Structure 1
């Protein structure tokens, strides 16, 4: 007689599916049940472990570029550039980018052209983190549901066993003619 694999048994018993027909999340949950290990994981930690250097860099650029500190600092740099090239350096005849600030416009266009895709990369990574969090939440919810089903089954078995004990102790009634 062949023995059934524990995961195959759990798949049949708890999910009513063959092991090969399970989704990866379902298989992961059954493995953790079999190992008696928790299934919950922090989505941010899992995402950070899988992140490449470029993804982490795009997150930092987006965090800096999307802050009030950046806006205020960049506004001060722009104001300084304009004052320097309009009043200070022009007074000495050394203005390298006088009004209409063509070089400044080129630099701003270049910054926007580089910064926009980097911020979009960061947004894509955040969307991937959200999908990962939803997947991990599904695993935890599935594990909780399956464990509740197992507890119900154990309680039902205990109740039936207790009923059998009670019935075994009852005196038998004589048959009526």
Structure 2
């Protein structure tokens, strides 16, 4: 870390500078591990402070899970930049589908509907009635309906992989949602930990102030 990152509070004119006195104690002590000469009266640039926050939160995760994946790094980046996890969702994902994927979704959706079932039953009934009663079993597909069996076999052979394609894409969506849920939960847990640290710092500062007040009252007496 460059020495120019920190400066005296009396000399800095950087609008993005942050006073070290405003940092919570645990973060300040973590920064002091790399900068032992840092004082509470010094200031630190906002960009460098974000880098330290990134390292500080990474330390939390490494202590618990020992290795950071892309998901954990995304959570850390979201906390450091103060962004929302849901902003990472690709809302235009459905618009990027290929023609085959869209066709698979439509075929799968239609094949699993009551409309398809009713139309299919009507078609089968009409096929049987036309060939047996209307054409007196001398039509284009007499009993035992070999041509109909061929059509049904072809439909089943084509419909199965199309449905599997649609299911695979749905599984990808479910995995993406699961990852997003994990990231949201992880970010919430880390923020709760940080809030606990801030609360502990507030309580410690309160006790310190009360002790000073008691000492002042004791000296005045």
Interval containing the TM-score (normalised by the shorter chain)? 0.7 to 0.9
Q: C-alpha separation between the residues in 2 aligned to 1:15 and 1:87? A: 75
Q: How large is the Cα RMSD of the aligned pairs?
A: 2.7
Counterpart of 1:135 (choices 161, 179, 197) is 179
Q: Is contact 2:105-2:166 (8 Å) kept?
A: yes
Q: C-alpha separation between the residues in 2 aligned to 1:44 and 1:88? A: 56
Matches within 5 A, 1:9-88: 9-12=56-59, 14-16=60-62, 21-40=67-86, 45=91, 48=94, 51-88=97-134
Quote the residue 2:208 is aligned against: 164
Task: Give the structure with the higher percent strand.
Answer: 2
Q: Using CA pairs below 8 Å that are at least 6 residues apart, which structure has the higher relative contact order?
A: 1
Aligned residues: 168
Q: C-alpha separation between the residues in 2 aligned to 1:43 and 1:73? A: 39
Quote the residue 1:123 is aligned against: 167
Q: C-alpha separation between the residues in 1 aligned to 2:119 and 2:90? A: 30
Q: C-alpha separation between the residues in 1 aligned to 2:157 and 2:122? A: 21
Partner-residue secondary structure (3-state), 1:69 = helix
Q: Deviation per CA, 1:122-145: give whole Å up to 9, x if none.
A: 222222222222111101100111
1:122/1:162 Cα in 2 relative to 1: closer, same or farther (>3 Å)?
same
